[in-house]
Amino acid sequence: LNPKYEDLLDPFLFRDMRKLVDRVREAREKEQKVFVYGDYDADGVCSSLVLVETLRAIGIENVDVYIPHREKEGYGLNNAAIDYIVKQGAKLIITVDCGTSNVQEVAHARSSGLDVIICDHHEEPSELPQDVCAFLNPHLSKEKYPFKNLAAVGVAFKVAQALAREFDLGEKHEKWLLDLVAIATVADMMELRGENRVFVKYGLIVLNKTQRLGLQALIAAMGKAGAPLGVYEIGFLIGPRLNAAGRIEHANAAYDLLESLDPGITNELSATLNMTNTTRQAETSRILKEALEQVETQLESNKVLIAIGDNWQPGVVGLVSGRITEKFHRPSLVIARAEKGLTGSGRSIPGFNITDALKKSSEFLTRFGGHEGACGFTLKSEDALDGLKTSLNKIADSVLSENDLVKGISVDMELCFDEITLDFAERIEALAPFGIGNPTPKFASFGVRVESVSLVGSDGKHMKLRFGQNGLSLSAIAFGFGEKFDAILNEGDLVDIVYEVAVNTWKGKRSVDLKIVDIKAK
């Protein structure tokens, strides 16, 4: 309930942490050039900067970062990038948010004279890279680290903790990294339990007083300068803008924004990311419309929905897959015919480990990786598509029932309005930060009367309501309910409601508001 910074685990519980520290110490003593090799999403970008800043803080000045281009290079290590890094004179490469599945590429790096350290959090494949200096991944079967659900930035932060301890940087260095750790943990949709809860609680404190000019500029560009920032702002405002760089252009823009100490550069890059995010939103809507036309024909016969298309931005197909899975409550894959072949992303529902399903269908793929609920992959050829569909649906038929495909709402408690006090709402607030793994509690009240209803928002998509029960009245907001309920909800109606309880502060006064999750008319 009250996570403390002291609750964080000893970073040396990672079985290879000592090996990592020793190899980094060698790089410092020999003044070797070090490359941090990241990924093009918010987790990969923030993880890269956590390591780069820490390596510089301990005295390794000759450190650089390499983030691959999503469409031109794809996920993870690639031989061309390794050759470039070798030509730059590097002796050590540290991967973050990738590397676990790069067997051949690590072998190429080793044969080229590079030492390799892997810091990752993706699931363990059937074959692992060999001859690495250290391998930090909580999902490895031989790994004894107690908390398994770290984002890549969580692994990078444990490295930063270990190096800070070994090189006497003190806690001040690591704590100022927590804004990056919170952003990446939330943006990568990690469960807010265990260490992640500590990261996000204290990371939000740091984020709200961040010293990073890039974050200050981005927050201002979002129109949130001076406003309190929480999990919502990370998940729906900051994270998407950082991710948009890698989805549409190159993630270097996001990295440079976070790293830069030049106000002119940060202002320019924050404006660029805003525009890129707008482009990303438009592309997502266009592709979603085309993909829905395909998957709607599959609903009667398939539990796993698959769409494929031309001129689909590979960087947004994961978002489209997420929208499809949310709409139909079924696992989905969305595949783009792209420069690097048939690349796709998938999202899943509880009870269906989509990455494990790809592992069982690997004969149709050239590469894949991911987590239980999300994956990325490359199809061998278009001829392999039917085989992949058949394999995945066969697996889904064996583990998912028809009831599993029905999206439900989990209600924590039924409440009467006389129980919804400011004190109650403040007690609920104390359970924050909310997110995946620690969802905001949901409550239900039955037979409440609609006292007033009006459309709000520039396009009338939302509803402002007031409900009454037993002489008590509460205000409520229903985001996205305008189009669905405007014609059927009237004053005086009796309805059942599911909602979240929130504390609203206006002109110094605190009151209770309801955030509507669903409404059922009588």
Domain boundary among 139, 170, 201: 170
Residues 386 and 436 in one domain: no
pLDDT tens digits, residue range 177-186? 999 999 999 9
Residues 417 and 401 in one domain: no
Residues 371 and 459 in one domain: no
Place 507 in a pLDDT band, splitting at 50, 70 and 90.
confident
Place 369 in a pLDDT band, splitting at 50, 70 and 90.
confident
Domain boundary among 138, 170, 202: 170
Distances (CA, A) of 388 to 65, 122, 170, 350, 423: 36, 22, 51, 21, 53
- The number of distinct structural domains making up the chain is 3
- Which pLDDT belongs to residue 206? 98
Tell whether 135 is covered by a domain. yes
Give the rounded percent of residues in the chain with a pLDDT score beyond 90: 91
Residue 444: CATH number of its domain: 2.40.50.460
Q: Measure the N-to-C terminal CA separation of the chain; round to a whole number of Å.
A: 38
Nearest-CA neighbor of 517 among 489, 497, 493, 492? 497
Q: Let me know: does 512 contact 504? Beta carbons within 8 Å.
A: yes
- Which pLDDT belongs to residue 143? 98
Give the rounded percent of residues in the chain with a pLDDT score beyond 70: 100
- Which pLDDT belongs to residue 371? 84
Residue 486 reports pLDDT greater than 80: no
Tell whether 256 is covered by a domain. no
pLDDT tens digits, residue range 196-232? 999 999 999 999 999 999 999 999 999 999 999 999 9
Q: Let me know: does 119 contact 102? Beta carbons within 8 Å.
A: no
- The more confident residue out of 369 and 133 is 133
Report the C-alpha gap between 398 and 426 in whole angstroms: 44
Place 505 in a pLDDT band, splitting at 50, 70 and 90.
confident
Tell whether 466 is covered by a domain. yes
Residues 154 and 55 in one domain: yes
Q: What is the mean pLDDT of the chain?
A: 96
Residues 419 and 480 in one domain: yes
Residue 349: CATH number of its domain: 3.10.310.30
- Which pLDDT belongs to residue 385? 97
Identify any residues that bridge with 34 across adjacent strands, giving them in sequence order.
63, 92
The token duo for 348 is 């899943």
Tell whether 252 is covered by a domain. no
**Stretch 346-365: mean pLDDT, rounded?**
97
Residues 382 and 487 in one domain: no
- Which pLDDT belongs to residue 225? 96
Domain boundary among 135, 170, 205: 170
Report the C-alpha gap between 272 and 312 in whole angstroms: 22
pLDDT tens digits, residue range 139-164? 999 999 999 999 999 999 999 999 99
Residues 488 and 383 in one domain: no
- Which pLDDT belongs to residue 283? 97
- Which pLDDT belongs to residue 45? 99
Tell whether 206 is covered by a domain. no
Phi, psi at residue 48, to the nearest 5°? Answer: -60, -45
Place 492 in a pLDDT band, splitting at 50, 70 and 90.
very high
Residues 454 and 394 in one domain: no
**Segments forming the whole domain that contains residue 478:** 413-521
pLDDT tens digits, residue range 382-438? 999 999 999 999 999 999 999 999 998 999 999 999 999 999 999 999 999 999 999
Place 506 in a pLDDT band, splitting at 50, 70 and 90.
confident
Residue bearing tokens 């070090």: 34
- Which pLDDT belongs to residue 121? 96
**Stretch 101-108: mean pLDDT, rounded?**
98
Residues 330 and 388 in one domain: yes
Residue 340 reports pLDDT greater than 80: no
Identify any residues that bridge with 136 across adjacent strands, giving them in sequence order.
119
- Which pLDDT belongs to residue 28? 98
Tell whether 479 is covered by a domain. yes
Q: Let me know: does 503 contact 429? Beta carbons within 8 Å.
A: yes
- Which pLDDT belongs to residue 460? 87
Peptide bond into 433 cis (omega under 30): yes
Structure pTM? 0.90
Distances (CA, A) of 338 to 244, 297, 313: 18, 24, 8
- The more confident residue out of 1 and 34 is 34
Q: Which residues contact 112 (CB under 8 A, 6 or more apart)?
A: 82, 83, 86
Tell whether 350 is covered by a domain. yes
Place 491 in a pLDDT band, splitting at 50, 70 and 90.
very high
Tell whether 482 is covered by a domain. yes
